[in-house]
Amino acid sequence: MKNLKLTSLLFITTLFLTSCSSDDDNIEPILEEEVITTLQVTLVGGGSTITMEYKDLDPEGPTDPVVTVSGPLMAGTVYTGSLTLLNELVNPAENITEEILEEAEEHQFFYQVSNTLNITNITYEDSDSNGNPLGLSFSFETGAASAGDFTIILRHEPNKEAEGVSNGDITNADGETDISAGFPLTIQ
């Protein structure tokens, strides 16, 4: 019995000493994905400002996101857009936009327009340090009166060198979607 206690004590001591080795100093921190609950879009054009918001306060839950658009777009107008992303699950809300700017090489926004919505010439107005598009700032032009969906997708770690990605084609982008928000728009 005495040998069993001694053996157990040696085993526990060995485990403790092994777990305290200097290899622990080389462990890289685990970076969690951003939690994005809210996407705010500001569009400025034709002397007016349109605001849009996508808010999902239970991203993993059953409640549908709340989507608002302050008004219609004007036909034949160039709009410049800017995005703000928030995590409103913490108080005060965390501005995720700053983190995306800091990690611009690892992110890209994509803009998709339904066939029924007359929006053309979507252009990235910002880029990462490698000259690849980011998309926190963008512009587009509206055509004739129409209605349809405008979807904004944020990809984490996309392949920015893949064919078409620098022009906003998400087909070959790979990576993981951090947020996908659809907005019903009307052009008058």
Give the 3-state DSSP-derived string for 64-91, with helices as H, strands as E and coil as C: CCEEEECCCECCCCEEEEEEEEEECCCC
Contact 64, 177 (CB under 8 A): no
DSSP 3-state of 131: coil
Q: How would you classify residue 99: left for phi > 0, otherwise alpha for psi between -120 and 50, otherwise beta? A: alpha
Residue pLDDT, tens place only, 103-159: 999 999 999 999 999 999 999 999 999 999 999 999 999 999 999 999 999 999 999
Identify the pLDDT of residue 17: 42
Identify the pLDDT of residue 165: 94
The chain-wide mean pLDDT, for the chain, equals 87
Q: Give mean pLDDT, residues 62-80.
A: 97
Burial bucket for residue 131 (CB in 10 Å: 0-12, 13-18, 19+) = exposed
- Tell me how crowded residue 129 is: count the other CB atoms within 10 A of its CB: 8
pTM of the model: 0.82
